[in-house]
Structure 1
Amino acid sequence: MPQDDLMPIGAFAQRSGLTSSALRFYADSGLLPPAEVDPVSGYRYYGADQVARATVLRQLREIAMPLAGVEAVLGAGADAASRLLDEHVARVVGDAVAAQQKAAVIRSALGAAPGLPVAALKGPVLADAVEQVLTATAHEPGLPVLAGLRIEASHEAVTLTATDRYRLSTRTLVPTEPPTQTWAGTVDGDELRAAAAEIRRSPLVRIEAVPHGIWFRVADREDRHCRLLSEDFPDYRLMLASLGEVTTRVAVSKDLLLRALEEHPGERIGLDVADHGVNVVSGDGEHPGIPLSATATGRALRIRFELTTFYPAVSTAIGPDVMLDLRGHDQPVTIRSADRGDLTTLAMPIKADHPA
């Protein structure tokens, strides 16, 4: 290689983001040998065409991939490299979850206060409810509580609630044994989502509160621990209490509505409600609508939604039909099962002239 195309190790370190010592290590290990080594001084020189390989090498090490894995990825084609990356990430995530569970066990063994029994619920029912309500969570910088799920136990019921400020989902469950006292806490949504599979396979799950977390106690399986979030959960009851009067009510087939939402182009959709039923239109009004047979009462209404807000609210509804309680084009719509009201979702509409 012409000398003008080579750069000394210091310059290459700046280009690649690797330290000089790391470059020497990777050269000695055979992962990134220099293009040339001065036979007299021993100085190492690298070519510009090696920057890309060095950058990928650095990125792989940043996600804690071992040297053998790095070598395999660098030597593989695109499809095989992608598979190796997925396998590595799955191992890292699995190890992190296992570490969290072991840490929870260790905390219990260190003499923490005894757990407080919260409620006993059927595992499959609880898992379904968790997954349904968690669709209304979001990861927002500075607002970790929006990724959490609120659990509230009263003497009669257990209520699960989540909100991302554009949706609010809540479901009420009847425990198999009435709770002896009230309790409330906001659980880390990611950890709860990971625990749902284990919960689903357990006929009975007992929820037990401990400092900074809750345990899901299951028979003949490994108990699961989830952290509690310290931030205040939004006052959703105040929002529910301030909802206006329902002016239009629609009952429609859930499957037909979902199919119409899937078929319509665009990121925004609209509902035109009249006596004859519902017309699903695009949010920009540029595409013909899809008419749906529905039972509609009240005044005619045109309302618009972001697809990412409205679709999950409909898809998680229980039963073959959904009920839409509408209060106006700029007010939250309540989406619930037409025959079972224990899962309720609020979805915020957008203005008809919402910018693209």
Structure 2
Amino acid sequence: MTDPELMSIGVFAKLAGLTASALRFYDDAGLLPPEQVDPITGYRLYSESQLARASQLRQLRDIGMPLPTIGKFFSAGTHEAAQLIDDQVAKVAAEAAGIQRAAATLKASLGEADRLNICTLSGPVLAAAIDQIVATTIHNPDIPVLNGVRLEANPDAISLTATDRYRLATRTLVPSQPSAASWAGTLAGDDLQTAASRLRRTPIVTLEASARSLGLRMADTTVMHCRLLAEVFPDYKLLVSSLPPVSHRVTVDKQNVLKALEQQAPERIGLRIAAGRPILLLPDCAVELGGTASGPDLTLWFELTTLYPAVSHALGKHLMLDLRGADQPATIRSADDGDFTTLVMPCLNPAY
């Protein structure tokens, strides 16, 4: 006999906030089978105790969780179930951010027939420069321009600049022909990073500026648009021009520095200049770098997250560090090729 306390699918659907067809679907999917099926009529009957599961199922579908994952959710423990929710939210957020970027790029390409042809560059070379510079950007909701890359073009060169307030990186490229016009704008770092994968596969790229975006025209004539940011980029030229004179100059082998940092990966690293020798101070040891150093004895400290990217992205085999004191920005550049330069802020001595 049918239990009189059980509800019909219609009544249960209203209480659960679902449709009868959805309940049939979830029954067939094995996620919410009815408490009982009438053997004569075949009607699905539900109990009040199933409402909690039905409510969870509806909410999981509201956040877009796939059916197979929902099945795992109902069989999981509390910790694993919470992790499944977090993973789904992260996935939806990433998809939403991608849609927003695509929509903004599409809007940037609308109604811009008048474009300024700036110059033509090697696609792979520009992609490599983007990789180096974008590493210095940061996502900061309060200062969104810190995710931007400042591109400045003049007849002789193209420069890309980014800063996260602790580093300032600049890469200069020389086009195959002089730039046709002077131009400057701050580009969305995410758009440039997305474009880099395409740039690596095109021998040449033409830069075309408009009021809302910079177009990157590939060899096959397709164009990728990088949005222009409205926020004012930090006045890095004023910062550079106001730096005190260089007091120490250090030249070292890049691989020696990277090897020491990668083997121990300390939170903070000291750089000591003693008797004309550069030495890295690590938690368990001091590493002689084997290079040269000028100036009186000096010790300064850096965060690993600030120093390592500046060193790893430097060009060439040798590094040149221009120091100005323990509390002043250090300039890191390639001794073999000076067209990539990074300013790195030191930090406090970890003993304090």
Residue aligning to 1:118: 118
| 1:102–1:212 Cα change, 3 Å | closer
| 1:194–1:59 Cα change, 3 Å | farther
Residue aligning to 1:103: 106
Shift, 1:148, TM fit: 0.8
| 1:186–1:94 Cα change, 3 Å | closer
- Whether contact under 8 Å (1:317, 1:337) holds in the other structure is yes
- In the alignment, the residues of structure 2 paired with residue 276 and residue 35 of structure 1 have an alpha-carbon distance, to the nearest angstrom, of 81
| 1:298–1:230 Cα change, 3 Å | same
- Whether contact under 8 Å (2:191, 2:227) holds in the other structure is yes
Write the mapping of 1:205-216 to structure 2, written as runs, cut at 5 A: 205-216=205-216
- Whether contact under 8 Å (2:104, 2:227) holds in the other structure is no
Write the mapping of 1:176-215 to structure 2, written as runs, cut at 5 A: 176-215=176-215
Which blocks of at least 5 consecutive residues in structure 2 are unaligned?
Answer: 1-14, 39-43
Q: Deviations over 1:190-248 (max 9, x none)?
A: 11101001112111110111221111001126321111111000000000001111111
Shift, 1:305, TM fit: 0.6
Q: Deviations over 1:282-337 (max 9, x none)?
A: 3xxx5222222111111221010110000000000000111111100000000000
Residue 335 (structure 2) aligned to one of 326, 338, 356: 338
| 1:115–1:335 Cα change, 3 Å | same
| 1:34–1:208 Cα change, 3 Å | same
Where has structure 1 moved over 6 Å in runs of 4 or more? 23-26, 75-78, 88-91
Counterpart of 2:294, as a letter, is T
Residue aligning to 2:241: 241
- In the alignment, the residues of structure 2 paired with residue 177 and residue 59 of structure 1 have an alpha-carbon distance, to the nearest angstrom, of 57
Q: Deviations over 1:18-53 (max 9, x none)?
A: x9425988644326528858x9996632488x59x9
Secondary structure of 2:229's aligned partner: coil
Over the matched positions of the two proteins, sequence identity in percent amounts to 41
- In the alignment, the residues of structure 1 paired with residue 318 and residue 267 of structure 2 have an alpha-carbon distance, to the nearest angstrom, of 24
Which blocks of at least 5 consecutive residues in structure 1 are unaligned?
Answer: 1-18
- Whether contact under 8 Å (2:169, 2:343) holds in the other structure is yes
Secondary structure of 1:312's aligned partner: helix
- Whether contact under 8 Å (1:119, 1:207) holds in the other structure is yes
Write the mapping of 1:128-139 to structure 2, written as runs, cut at 5 A: 128-139=128-139
- In the alignment, the residues of structure 2 paired with residue 351 and residue 257 of structure 1 have an alpha-carbon distance, to the nearest angstrom, of 20
Does residue 311 (structure 1) correspond to residue 314 (structure 2)? The answer is no
Residue aligning to 1:29: 25
| 1:152–1:43 Cα change, 3 Å | same
Counterpart of 2:343, as a letter, is L
TM-score scaled by length of structure 1: 0.78
Instruction: Point out the structure with max Rg over C-alpha.
Output: 2
When the two structures are aligned, how many residues end up with a matched partner?
322
- In the alignment, the residues of structure 2 paired with residue 177 and residue 275 of structure 1 have an alpha-carbon distance, to the nearest angstrom, of 47
Shift, 1:133, TM fit: 0.9
Residue aligning to 2:347: 350
